[in-house]
Amino acid sequence: MSGSGEVTVTGFGVRTAFGSGADAVRRGVFEGVPAFAPTSRFDTGPYRTPMAAAAPEGPDAVEDWALRHALAECGTQALDMAGLGPGTRAAVLLGVAGDHTSVTRYWRGDGEAGTDAGGTGAGAAADRAADAVPAQLAELLAAWLGLTGPRLTFTNACVASAAAIIHGCRLISSGRADVAVCGGGYLVEEETFGKFDSGRALSKDGMVRPFSADRSGLLLGDGVAVVVLESAEHSRRRGARPLASVVGWGAATDAHHIAQPHPEGAGLARAARQAMRLAGDPHGAALDYVNAHGTGTKYNDGAETRGLRAAFPDRAESIPVSSTKSTTGHLLEAAGVVEFVITLLALTDGVLPPTAGFTAPDPECDLDYVPNRPRRADLRRALTLNAAFGGANTALVLERP
Amino acid sequence: MTTSDKSPLRAPLGILATATATHGTGRDDDIPLPRLPGFVESAFSPLAYEVSSRCLTERPGDCSRTAVALASLLGDTTTADLASRRMVSGKVHNPLLFMQATPNSVLGHTSREFGITGQMFSISTFDDPVTELLAMADLLLEDPELDRVLVLGVELGGSERLAAIHRELTADDGSPVPDLPASAGLAAAALLCRPGAGAPATIRSAETPGTDSDTGTDVEAVDRPGGIQGLFDLAAAHRRLLRDGGSLLLPGPAAYLLTTDTADTADTADETETHAHQ
């Protein structure tokens, strides 16, 4: 191991409803184009809305819309960009809840070798039943990429892939690992769609309008990304050019509710303060942008605004904040890593991605949300935030070289 | 399929408390499923809360400096299967199943009940959860903002889908399919700190994996990928240490030495290990 120290980012791969790769993110997320449309991936008839940010079928589609394929694609992109290949010793850390389509296929009896032993209508979906196991996807990704080293999957819902990145940062900064390949993925499917519909969490007007007065909920979206984290010494030794450094991370819990955020954003503020302390800038004096969790729900966005005010009492109003879920939808376990990539692109491109679908200010959401249009900015440091069921919150600080 | 390669503990950990609970397994000490408002149908969350609350009640402490890590290979499969079967049969989802769909939900309940505001993670691993959770606690306790880590594992009985998964993972190599009843569940927890923080027992990495006969405990090898038997073994060893004192070698994919001496006893550890192998 190279010893403790700075964590750099040397590669990434990303897929959203806009397609595969960074340019697709630039065309969609950074231009403020919402990807929401009625999805045909399953019958949406039983639900209150057909809308999701699910990529359509086409030449750019991932094979079978299987999570294992999307992760392999993004992992390959990330390693290629980093200039690493098979045989690299790297921790493989994922944030993923498993491929839920295998659960649906099992109970629908869509498998190759139906058993239907209990008269349940179920068959043994003999192919890929194990893709429902979160740990299996990390195993498959590591095998596909030819990486040796420990593997671990985080399953803590919408902070899962941010937690994977934080774990990777800890492994590297403590000298336990030189390289950590961190990722996450969610592709829109019916199991989760139905659950969010039953919880009346989905937007009523087919749009996600974070921080806007008329926001009515979230919509789900496709998101998969993999990033290569590397100790600065390791990347320097092999002549790799870091895209950015991860200079701070934090995680904290609300201790408030199983499914709602703390109304004052207490845990989010605590995570952000932790990350900024680690970054050596406890008051956020050098913070240029916040990629918010910004789900577009009544509960989240007001709480997040108050949390940001608590974390940065002297500066909150002067820091641009945007929610890219307004274009990508909510990526669930993948939100952390995809938004990490978006934040990285904001730093490298010098562009703030907008909060799309913003119609009217809400008195309880009173920060600069970069409404509807991208904004050029000379960015050096940015913070990306995520929150999840159970009151889990994460914060990551990226810095441009 | 196991990935090994986990780092041994860099520094010893103190064990403040351990707890185990089983439901519907047929064991003598099975408990009725504790009632947990908002959590229905599944043993996952009630058992997770039960073992967590026992540890946190036994050893109250500063919950703003407490982290939680939950390991479960498959998560709450009872809820997942119930929701899926309802869906494919055309029934609407039960919103409560939405609320309890992730392990985070019960961790959120625990954090609210005990005021835990530290970090909270849930993981899925094919490795021995003891190895993974102790490594995570070791890493987390290097964070100057944390003093304690509650680690727990939860495992549920098998549906026919779990049996299919098991067959796929083992490539039909003849490994016995887990035979817990579908409604059964197991959970085990340990509240960890650094030695010197009032912990009556200490655990550290041992160089040589032992065998059952080394310790005299009911230690079993990892029963199946991600199985939490190792956490039950850790809890049993901890109970025995508190009763009898001395030291114990906990074998497994990674070996650990448990001792009631909380001082830094590297030399003593060697001596104990030698004794253990005599």
pLDDT per residue, tens digit, chain A (401 aa), is 655 589 999 999 999 999 999 999 999 999 999 999 999 999 999 999 999 999 998 888 888 889 999 999 999 999 999 999 999 999 999 999 999 999 999 999 875 433 433 333 444 445 689 999 999 999 999 999 999 999 999 999 999 999 999 999 999 999 999 999 999 999 999 999 999 999 999 999 999 999 999 999 999 999 999 999 999 999 999 999 999 999 999 999 999 998 899 999 999 999 999 999 999 999 999 999 999 999 999 999 999 999 999 999 999 999 999 999 999 999 999 999 999 999 999 999 999 999 999 999 999 999 999 999 999 999 999 999 999 999 999 999 999 99
Q: Which of B5, B84, B228 is most worth mutating to test chain A (most A CB atoms within 10 A of its CB)? A: B84
Contact A163, A74 (CB under 8 A): no
- A147: nearest CA partner in chain B: B3
Q: Kindly list the distances between the CA atom of residue A399 and the CA atoms of A279, A384, A396, in Å, as whole numbers in the listed order.
A: 9, 11, 10
Q: Which residue of B has its CA nearest to A129?
A: B165
Q: pTM to 2 decimals?
A: 0.94
Amino acid type, A2: S
Contact A124 B117 (CB under 8 A): no
Asked if residue B197 lies in contact with residue B15, where contact means CB atoms within 8 angstroms, the answer is no
Integer Cα distance of A229 and A249 in angstroms: 14
Domains of chain B, CATH where assigned: 13-199 (3.40.47.10)
Nearest to A240 by CA among A8, A65, A54: A8
State the pLDDT confidence band at B7, using cuts at 50, 70 and 90.
low
B108 contacts in chain A (CB < 8 Å): 253-254, 256-259, 389-392
* pLDDT > 70: percent of chain B: 85
Q: How far is A385 from chain B (nearest CA, A)?
A: 14
- For chain B, give the percent of residues with pLDDT over 90: 65
Q: How far is CA B112 from CA A8, B146, B188, in A?
A: 36, 18, 20
Instruction: Write down the pLDDT at residue B223.
Output: 59
pLDDT tens-place string over residues B90-132: 987 788 888 887 888 999 999 999 999 999 999 999 999 999 9
Task: Choose the catalytic residue: A158, A169, A182, A365.
Answer: A158
What dihedral do alpha carbons B176, B48, A262, B101 form, nearest 10°? 30
CB-based contact, A94 to chain B, within 8 Å = no
A158 is catalytic: yes
What was the pLDDT predicted at B277?
26
Contacts of A12 (CB under 8 A, 6+ apart): A22, A74, A77, A78, A81, A225, A226, A227, A228, A243, A341, A344
Q: Higher-confidence residue: B159 or B202? A: B202
pLDDT tens for each residue of B201-251 = 999 999 755 444 344 444 444 456 778 999 999 999 999 999 999 999 998
Give me the phi and psi of B128, to 5 degrees please: -60, 120
Sign of CA dihedral B126, B127, B130, B131: negative
**Contact A301/A210 with Cβ under 8 angstroms?**
yes
Contact A125 B116 (CB under 8 A): no
What are the structural domains of chain A?
7-98+133-399 (3.40.47.10)
Q: Which residue in A257, A270, A389 is closest to B117 by CB distance?
A: A270
Q: Residue B212's beta-bridge partner residues? A: none
Provide the pairing of β-strand A321-322 with A51-52.
unpaired
* Residue the block writes with tokens 């993110």: A25
Do the Cβ atoms of B48 and B70 come closer than 8 Å?
A: yes
How high does pLDDT run on average in chain B? Answer: 85
Determine contact: B75 vs chain A, CB below 8 A: yes
Distance from C-alpha of B226 to C-alpha of B133, rounded to nearest angstrom: 12
Contact between B3 and A139 using a beta-carbon 8 Å cutoff: yes
Shortest CA distance to A70 belongs to which of A184, A151, A175?
A: A184
> Nearest CA of chain A to the CA of B41: how many Å?
16
How many other C-beta atoms lie within 10 A of the C-beta of residue A251? 29
User: Are A165 and A229 within 8 A, CB to CB?
Assistant: yes
**A4 has a chain B CB within 8 A of its CB:** no
